[in-house]
Amino acid sequence: MAKGDGPATAPQMAADGVTAEQRAEIEAARAAVSPTRRPTVPALEDILYRPLPVLDHGFVRVIDYFGDDGAVVQAARVSYGKGTKKVSDDRHLIRYLMRHRHSTPFEMCEIKFHVKLPIFVARQWIRHRTANVNEYSARYSILDREFYVPVPGQLAAQSTSNRQGRGGLLQGSEAEQALAAIEGLSAEAYAAYTKLLNEDPSGAAIEPGRQGLARELARMVLPTNYYTQWYWKTDLQNLLHFLSLRADAHAQYEIRVYADVICDIVAKWVPMAWEAFRDYRMTGAAISGPGLAAIRRMLAGENVTQESSGLSKREWAELMATLKRDKSR
C-alpha cells in the first residue's frame, strides 16, 4: 500500500493535511465577520484560520489572538489607548524593552494556534511548559493513517561530534533502505493498530462480531512519526522564547520548520516586537564577562589566545565563531 493510502472510509486529506470536514469549518469561520472595538491586525486577519503547510502532512493555523504592538506599549506605560501618537516612539520603546529584557509587557499579547505535527515533534514541543495545550485524544478517536517520512535531503547519519545532531547525508542504497524501512514499518504498524481495534477510522468493524482492543491500548503500537494535532495557546513573551530555541540553526529540522512558519506569523502580528526580537535575540549574541574582557584586550591591540584568554577551548571556539575570526587567533 502506498504511503498516505488508507481504507476507503478514511478521511481524505488535501495536500495541506486538512480533511474535507475541516475545510468546511475553516471556510465557514473565514466567512463570518464579527464587529469589535478591540485592536485588530489586518495582516493576521488575512491568514486567520488558514492552514499553513508544514512537512508532508502538517500545518499551523492561527485560531485567535489578543493584542498587538500597541498592547505592549500600553502595558509598559500603564496608560490608556495606544500609547504615544508617534509610531517611532513606540518602536524605540519596544526595542528598549527587548534590549533590557523587560519581558512582562510582551506577556500582554496572546495567540492560539492549531498545529498538526508528528508525535516525536510534539514531544519536543511540549517541553515548553508555559502554554495551554489541548491535544487530539487517541483514547477517544482513531488516528488517521498519516505518518511523516523525511525527504531525501533530511536523511542524515548520526553526527560523530554531537550526540543529538545529524552528520552527513545518507546516499544511494543506504538512503533507499532507510526510506523503505520508515515507510514499511509505519504502514505495518497502522495495519496492526486497526486490526487490534477491529475498526477502521470511520468506526466500522473490520471483522463483524469480533471484539477489538481498547483504543487507549491499541495506540501503543504506532510509531512517533504518526501525526497528532493540538490547540496551543501562549503569550508573546513565551512564544519568543520558544522561537529563540526552535528557530535556531541548531534545532532539529522537523521542529524548526514549524518555528519558521510561526516566525512569519509573529512578524505579521507584532512587526515592531518582531523586529526588536530579531535584532537582539535572533541575530544578536550574548557575550560572557570573560569573553567581553578578551574582546576589549583585542581591541586594545593585544594578541589574545585561547590559553591567555581564561576561556575554555569550547568557549573560545564559540567566541571566535561569533566574531567570525580564526579559532587559532
Cα–Cα distance measured from residue 59 to residue 68, given in angstroms and rounded to the nearest whole number = 24
- pLDDT above 60 (res 6): no
pLDDT band at residue 7 using 50, 70 and 90 as cut-offs: very low
pLDDT of residue 172: 92
Q: How does the average pLDDT of the chain come out, rounded?
A: 90
Catalytic residues: 246
Q: What is the pLDDT of residues 194-215, one digit of tens each?
A: 999 998 888 888 899 899 999 9
Helix, strand or coil for residue 263? helix
What is the amino acid identity at position 107?
A: E
8-12, 226-230, 264-268, 284-288: range with lowest mean pLDDT: 8-12
* Domains of the chain from N-terminus onward: 20-156+222-282 (3.30.1360.170), 289-323 (no CATH)
Contact 17, 53 (CB under 8 A): yes
- pLDDT above 80 (res 264): yes
pLDDT of residue 78: 85
> Percent of the chain scored above 70 by pLDDT?
92
pLDDT of residue 325: 86
Q: What is the pLDDT of residues 289-317, one digit of tens each?
A: 999 999 999 999 999 999 999 999 999 99
When comparing pLDDT for 60 and 36, which is higher? 60
Cα–Cα distance measured from residue 287 to residue 10, given in angstroms and rounded to the nearest whole number = 54
Q: What is the pLDDT of residues 152-203, one digit of tens each?
A: 999 988 888 777 788 899 999 999 999 999 999 999 999 999 999 998 888 8
What is the DSSP track for 286-309?
---HHHHHHHHHHHTT----HHHH
Contact 72, 79 (CB under 8 A): no
- pLDDT above 80 (res 3): no
Closest by CA to 277, choosing from 80, 117, 91, 18, is: 91
